[in-house]
Structure 1
Amino acid sequence: MVQGEFLWHWVRVLGRLKHKVISWPEEEYNHSGRTILLTVDGIDFRTYERSTDDYNVDRKQYSHKFHHGALKYEIGVDAFLPKIVWIHGPWRAGMHDRAIFAEGGGLREKIPEGKVVICDRVYKDSKYKDNDELMLPCVGDSSGLFTFKSRLRSRHESLNGRLKDYRILFDTYHHNPDNHVYAFEAVAVLVQYAMDHGHPIFEANTVPPE
């Protein structure tokens, strides 16, 4: 029953709960015997297209997924639990997913040595030769490993779909661009609470193949 700045106040309050429900399990990831930790993916959300002094649209804001202006966030989802463990952004949609992953202070620096994350082929970038932390789709995978990695990526897409069940992230965003991150964090908190209380995403497998 509120609107304007009063509404955004409560959106920000909800988003601040992310520190309670979305956290990096450092102890588990550093000291467990798990090699595969999580899946990572970039997700774009349509926004109105900003113009520049030279062009009628900002090409760095342009999303090739939508052919439209957008903002991008990086999301990490635990490989074995229905748990968002990492959110990072927003970024302008023209920024490459692999560049965001490699950004200083970002996800790549948090991955312990010898551990890996599952990702899709967009993370294969010739500018980044070192891919030790990333497990991309590979034609040389065994049937079991191929299926396991594929299901992990599919369950991550399922999580992305849940975020876009909320109209603020599904429709083209026309509000103050500085507020988009508050809407995203609030929705991420709601989705995580739903997974914690009876609506988890499906499991990829109980144990990864050898």
Structure 2
Amino acid sequence: MPQNTDHMPGTESAPPFSQAAENNKGPIGDILHHEFRNVKSVLEIASGTGQHAVHMARLLPHLSWRPSDLSENLPGLTLRHTQEAPPNLLEPMLLDIADHPWPVTQVDAVYAANCLHIVSWPLVEAFFKGAGGAIADAGTIAVYGPFRYGGNFTTPSNAEFDAFLRARDAAAGIRDFEAVNELAATQGFQIARDCDMPANNQLLIWRRR
């Protein structure tokens, strides 16, 4: 099933909704509950509908969670924040990963779900550059989504999904783990965990100590 194509548009009274985000927020939260146990501040990139932001902020009340997205997604994201935000969920902010430096610094972690296969490769490079500048000297990058390993897809369905993405946007596509890991390394991050997730996805955790 193609990801990021299941969004129901919002209305004046209801924020947009993604069934995929609803399905995967629990498994992701189970891992971040441990990985972010010593984290005090998180910047989420491409927060979309805001379902992950609300869930993670409730799950991790010891930290502050800052959602962000492009201008076209901010109204729905802001509406969800207004209706559902716990005290530690900060107001959504405008952030384009192509802009440098990012308008936030000294966070402990950067999180993104279903983002890197949607944007172009130059924007993937911009993501790691921006995350490296936003995170304090020591910190964490957490990325959820599908990846290839050694140039191979993990499942036939991921190969089909990649073809769907590239037909829709030639600059998009499932990324090679080795390539994104190299980008993380240029910012001083080392892979700490590679977690198998439902629906043929991974949750990658990098740390800079």
TM superposition score normalised by structure 2: 0.31
From the CA coordinates, give the structure whose radius of gyration is larger.
Answer: 1
Task: Kindly indicate which of the two structures has a greater share of residues assigned to strand.
Answer: 2
